[in-house]
Amino acid sequence: MFALAGGVVARLRPLGQMALGVLYPPACLHCGADVARHGLLCSACFARLHGVVAPFCKACAVPQVSAGMLGADGLCPACERHHSAWGQARAAFVYESVARELILKLKYADQTDNAAFLAQQMVRVGRDILVDDALVVPVPVHRWRLFRRRYNQAALLAHAVAKLAGLRCLPDALVRVRSTVPLASFSRQARWDEVAQAIMLRSSCGPRVRGRDIVVVDDLLTTGATAAACTNALLQGGARSVSLLVAGVVPPRRDVDMDQPDYGHVG
Ligand SMILES: [Zn+2]
Ligand SMILES: [Zn+2]
Measured in Å, residue 89 CA sits from the centre of ligand 2 at: 9
Is the pLDDT reported for residue 12 higher than 80?
A: no
Please, are residues 248 and 92 in contact by the beta-carbon 8 Å criterion? yes
Whether residue 182 has a cis bond before it, omega within 30° of 0: no
At residue 259, the pLDDT reads 42
Fill in the DSSP letter of residue 257.
-
Measured in Å, residue 193 CA sits from the centre of ligand 1 at: 41
Class of domain 48-249: alpha beta
pLDDT band at 210 (very low <50, low <70, confident <90, very high): very high
Give ion ligand 1 contacts, CB < 5 A. 28, 30-31, 33, 42, 45
Average pLDDT, the chain: 87
At residue 157, the pLDDT reads 98
CATH 3.40.50 maps onto the chain at 48-249
How far apart are alpha carbons 165 and 168 in whole angstroms? 9
pLDDT band at 6 (very low <50, low <70, confident <90, very high): very low
Ligand nearest to the CA of 48: 1
Strand-pair partners of 175: 200
Ligand nearest to the CA of 82: 2
Ligand nearest to the CA of 101: 1
Is the pLDDT reported for residue 174 higher than 70?
A: yes
Per-residue pLDDT tens digits for 84-114: 999 999 999 999 999 999 999 999 999 999 9
At residue 199, the pLDDT reads 95
